[in-house]
Amino acid sequence: MAQSSSDHPLSPLLRPRSIAVLGASEREHTVGSEIMHNLQQGGYEGRLYPVNPGRETVFGLPCFRSLSELPETVEQVIFAIADTRVESALDDTIAHGAKAVTLFSTLLLDNETAPLLRDRVTQKIRQSGLLVCGANGMGFYNFQDGIWACGFDTRNNHPRGGNVTLISHSGSGMSGILDCEERIDFNLAVSTGQELCVTMDQYMDYAIEEMNTRVVGLFLETARNPSGLRAVLAKAADRNIPVIAIKVGRTDLAAELTVSHSGAMAGEDAAYQALFDRYGVQRVEDMDELATTLIMFAQPHPVSAGGLVSIHDSGGERQLIIDLADRVDLPLTKISPYTTATLKSLLDPGLMAVNPLDAWSKGGPHYHKVMEKCFSALMTDEGAAMGAVVHDRAPHGEIYEDYIGYMRAGHKASGKPAFLVSNRQGTGADERVVSVTREGFPVLDGLRSFLVGARCLLNFRDFQAGRQAENGRSESDTEADQFDGVARKWRGQLSSGLVLDEYESGRLLADFSLPVNPGARAENVEDTARAASAFGYPVALKSAQAGLLHKTDKDGVRLHLHDEEELRAAYNEMAARLGHAVLISPMITEPGVEMILGVVRDEQFGPLVVMGFGGVHVEAFKDVVCALPPFNETTARRLLGKLKLHHLLLGHRNLPAVDSEAMCTTAAQFSRMVRALGDCISEIDVNPILVKEKGCIALDALVAGHPANEHTH
């Protein structure tokens, strides 16, 4: 068996030249039997050694009593043994000198006492440097090289090669697609299990570096190597390899977030959504969507500019796609006057020449030719990125040959991707369905899953276009080191875990060149009056008593104080209740939209920037997005567009549009500050930021440091 072209670290695990199977057997429905069957069924070309002291031969191969009796040192040992034998077998494997192990065991024993079996096994693996797939997984399939290292049954018609990689923390998340979906040709599928050693990002790196990978699917529970996951997602984005992910479960933010509004608003899933957004990962919600989207990305035809066009033989089902497309936020193309005129010349009277197109009317012998020409006209429209023939399956779940003809004609006329979609589930095992899909014309089942996949295609197209517009520069390269000097100034205070008051928080923001409303401290009414006179009326007065974080909740804010008499009265009343320390600042009277910039800290991925609509109703709006810092103005603009209330920035109720570009510039600068301060930040709230007709300005801020002995990033 030939060596891989580049000596990838995982080659001994995923492409071993020799394998020993501990517990090899011919007894039906045992792991030892299934492994031997799969390796032989897959056409493993390396040297295969069954090991079992109770057998002379296994499936025609000589069987050895132990690893020590093998004629050579094998690269990989696959364990098909009980949990009670795993630890001693691992010792034998290490002594034998193997480089890799595939481990299915749960590593759970009855009535265990510390140290637990899993902990003991993990320590041995780390000390030995073994590469391990598992434990508590289903193994892997390297279809490119014919290595089916799985201890469970599968279909027997997996082809060699393929261009789709599937890596799953769930065994069923792998087999549920792999064993039943013949429309996808996989090159690598891995059930990673507990990831005692090798993590999801490393498998993905192997697929990118060593295989012909067009698209990667992930079934993700948690990131056991967050920095590695970020790095490999960046590599995939750089190489234009889309990643489709299901993320199950949630990651809690690092602390009980009670200090800031940002913490209360970010949500448990914010870090993963920010990670996916940064690297163009397309997120889906269930297995149907994952499988369908993988099929759609595996087809070879590039997606053009524009949206979706579709042809139907039902007015009701045409209306259904309009409703569902709106629900999943998928743009439907508004066809050009030229296309409209072409369709009118083809359609029966009474049919509307629009997209989506219902082209069925009287039927008759010329019906199929009309459909074909109509679909070609839609596909050649300048606003069509891809097209769908939305016709239900024939009896018994079969497909009509004419439908395939529509797809081929539409693609031939335009070069764009074409899909045949039924509204209900059909079958992915039908020979015609599989062959046409492999030809590059996917036959899909389930309209909503298709629309999600189409949205993913368009979103990934736009993500890559945005990267190219930035000259291929990674957002991680955005300048953050411009703040080295000022960052050193603030790190000492923040590393103590101190919560800065509004005055100090404002000074920090100003040092990082962020637009902040100036302020002055005062401890008595005379100093307060002098500061107000220096600023000029009207002014705002706020309590600056130590430990008072949310001043509005304690009635600690007085706005629109127009003269000294009002100021003195407000100060005396506030001082009597909350203490003598106050902050005085100019009153910003211009109209605008109140927004928020913040930071929360995720235990896996570190600081996240929060951006959204703010003010006193910030937690009622709950309209925020999160991003990994640093990012540029282009990303800030895209993030703003995701907010549900984004239209408020464009002007409403006779109010002018506000300077959203200034907000984008400020958000990008804020993200660079967060990157520069990094592990010294626990939370930040800049709320509100008033976005005016010209410019924006921060009116209040709260910064909480992160104790140095707790830094993890």
Q: Using one digit for the tens of pLDDT, what is the confidence trace for 164-220?
A: 999 999 999 999 999 989 999 999 999 999 999 999 999 999 999 999 999 999 999
DSSP string, 388-425: EEE-PPPGGG---HHHHHHHHHHHHHH---EEEEESS-
DSSP character at residue 376: H
- Tokens in use for 390? 């939305």
418-422 and 443-445: which strand pairing?
A: parallel
Sign of CA pseudo-dihedral 81, 86, 92, 94: positive
Summarised one tens digit per residue, pLDDT across range 364-388 is 778 889 999 999 999 999 999 999 9
Rounded Cα gap, residues 292 and 279, in angstroms: 21
Domains defined for the chain, CATH in brackets? 11-213 (3.40.50.720), 303-469 (3.40.50.261), 518-587 (3.30.1490.20), 593-710 (3.30.470.20)
DSSP3 helix / strand / coil % (the chain, rounded to 5): 40, 20, 40
pLDDT band for 713, please (50, 70, 90 cuts).
very low
- Could you read off the pLDDT of 8-21 as tens digits, one per residue? 999 999 999 999 99
Helix/strand/coil for 386: strand
- 259 confidence band (pLDDT: 50, 70, 90): very low
Question: What is the residue-averaged pLDDT of the chain?
Answer: 91
Between CA 545 and CA 265 the distance in angstroms is 26
Instruction: Say if strands 139-142 and 186-191 run parallel, antiparallel, or are unpaired.
Output: antiparallel
From the list 26, 27, 52, 48, the residue with the least C-alpha distance to 39 is 48
User: Which residues have CB under 8 Å from 534's CB, separation 6+?
Assistant: 520
Is residue 264 predicted with pLDDT exceeding 50? no
Distance CA 326, CA 336 (A): 21
| Beta-carbon-side half-sphere exposure of residue 117 (alpha carbons within 13 Å) | 19
pLDDT given at position 251: 60
Q: What is the pTM of this model?
A: 0.91
Nearest Cα neighbor of 591 from 657, 660, 517 is: 657
d(CA 174, CA 246): 12
Residue 377, class by beta-carbon neighbours within 10 Å (0-12 exposed, 13-18 middle, 19+ buried)?
buried
pLDDT digits (tens, 9 = 90+) for 540-582: 999 988 766 667 778 889 999 999 999 999 999 999 999 999 9
pLDDT band at 707 (very low <50, low <70, confident <90, very high): confident
Q: What percent of the chain has pLDDT over 90?
A: 80
Q: What is the mean pLDDT of residues 260-269?
A: 55
Q: Which amino acid is at 273?
A: Q
- Cβ 640 vs Cβ 649: under 8 Å: yes
Could you tell me which residues come within 8 angstroms of residue 649 by beta carbon, excluding any fewer than 6 positions away? 593, 640, 657, 658, 660, 663, 691
Mean pLDDT, residues 480-488: 77
- Alpha-carbon distance 257 to 175, whole Å? 39
In this predicted structure, the answer to whether residue 474 has a pLDDT above a threshold of 60 is no
